[in-house]
């Protein structure tokens, strides 16, 4: 009797999704966030804040999920560390309260 090929009828397990492009590693698709520091100048509704950067620009920022989970409170005058997308420099995510 002839031997049967080993991987007949099965696709490799590297790409489970048969439709669309193959998966890329997270290193390639990860967008580098720009980290900046600023000072909260106004508290807005819905956990949004107006933050003044050291350069003098003002951006609209919201609290990251981990800060919400830990009930970190922010008030006017607090120094914060933020992450900004390189694509939209008018919005940011507050990730750390420094003072």
Q: For the segment 60-90, what is each residue's pLDDT rounded down to a tens digit?
A: 999 999 999 999 999 999 999 999 999 999 9
Whether residue 38 has pLDDT greater than 90: yes
pTM: 0.68
Confidence at residue 26, expressed as pLDDT on a 0 to 100 scale: 61
CA pair distance 44, 21, nearest whole angstrom: 41
Confidence of residue 99 (pLDDT cuts 50, 70, 90): confident
Position of tokens 């006017």?
76
Position of tokens 């997270």?
26
Confidence at residue 51, expressed as pLDDT on a 0 to 100 scale: 98
> Which option is the CATH number for 36-97: 1.20.1090.10, 3.40.50.300, 3.40.630.10, 2.40.50.140?
2.40.50.140
């Amino acid at each position: 009797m002839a031997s049967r090929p080993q991987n007949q009828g099965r696709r490799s397990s590297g790409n489970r999704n048969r439709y669309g492009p193959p998966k890329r590693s997270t290193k390639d698709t990860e967008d580098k966030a720009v980290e900046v520091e600023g000072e909260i100048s106004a508290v807005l509704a819905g956990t949004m804040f107006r933050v003044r950067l050291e350069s003098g620009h003002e951006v609209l920022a919201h609290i990251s999920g981990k800060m919400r989970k830990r009930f970190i409170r922010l008030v006017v005058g607090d120094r914060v560390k933020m992450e900004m997308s390189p694509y939209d420099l008018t919005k940011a995510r507050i990730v750390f309260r420094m003072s």
